Amino acid sequence: MYVFVDKKTNAVLHVANASPGDDRKPEQVFRDFDPDTMDFGQAPDHFIPVHFAIRRGLVVNLDLPPAETLAQARQRTLQDFSAQALALRAALVPDYQLLNAGIGLYDEQRVQSLRDTVNAFRSEVQRLESAVAKAKSIKDLNALAPAFPAAIVLPKVAAAKPAKATKA
């Protein structure tokens, strides 16, 4: 979208739609263009922001949201990790399996496997919470990578005791 603005009053004088890649000169868009009294800019979207400026031929939105604070980034990161953990856990162990385990429909080995899987997700979220709290910058937060289980955790089988040698 092309925008023509009066240099003195900043009033919008003319607006013209443009297709992507349409790079015409101002005179080709607005025949009354006067470079001494008018500014010409191209907006990246098909609208003009309420508060804008034209810088180097581009329409710039002056109402951009403020930068994210470290506290906001921590909260967002924790929410993202929590949502990711719940989604991945649900893909491995659906809620109905947890309910079935809770009412005793599964054998002890399967219940233990489900319990260990859920605890592995919980432990990873707790590790991430600690790392998020220790992060000193948003860059540190963005560098954190979760290590959630990729498969159901199998219960550890106790090692079989070797048979005692008998004396003959």
Contact criterion met (CB below 8 Å) for 104 and 114: no
Measured in residues, the chain has a length of 168
Residue 46 per-residue DSSP state: S
Do 91 and 28 reside in the same domain of the chain?
no
Residue 152 is assigned to a structural domain of this protein: no
Do 103 and 52 reside in the same domain of the chain?
no
Residue 40 is assigned to a structural domain of this protein: yes
Which residues span the domain enclosing 139?
A: 70-143
- How sure is the predictor about 45, in pLDDT bands with cuts at 50, 70 and 90? confident
Contact criterion met (CB below 8 Å) for 135 and 75: no
- How sure is the predictor about 158, in pLDDT bands with cuts at 50, 70 and 90? low
Do 31 and 11 reside in the same domain of the chain?
yes
Residue 158 is assigned to a structural domain of this protein: no
Contact criterion met (CB below 8 Å) for 116 and 101: no
Do 77 and 25 reside in the same domain of the chain?
no
Q: What is the pLDDT of residues 49-69, one digit of tens each?
A: 888 888 888 888 888 788 889
User: Which of 22-36, 71-85, 137-151 is predicted with the least confidence, judged by mean pLDDT?
Assistant: 22-36
Do 76 and 138 reside in the same domain of the chain?
yes
Q: What is the pLDDT of residues 101-114, one digit of tens each?
A: 999 999 999 999 99
The tally of domains found in the chain comes to 2
Residue 28 is assigned to a structural domain of this protein: yes
Top-confidence residue, 149 or 42: 149
Do 76 and 132 reside in the same domain of the chain?
yes
Contact criterion met (CB below 8 Å) for 115 and 153: no
Residue 155 is assigned to a structural domain of this protein: no
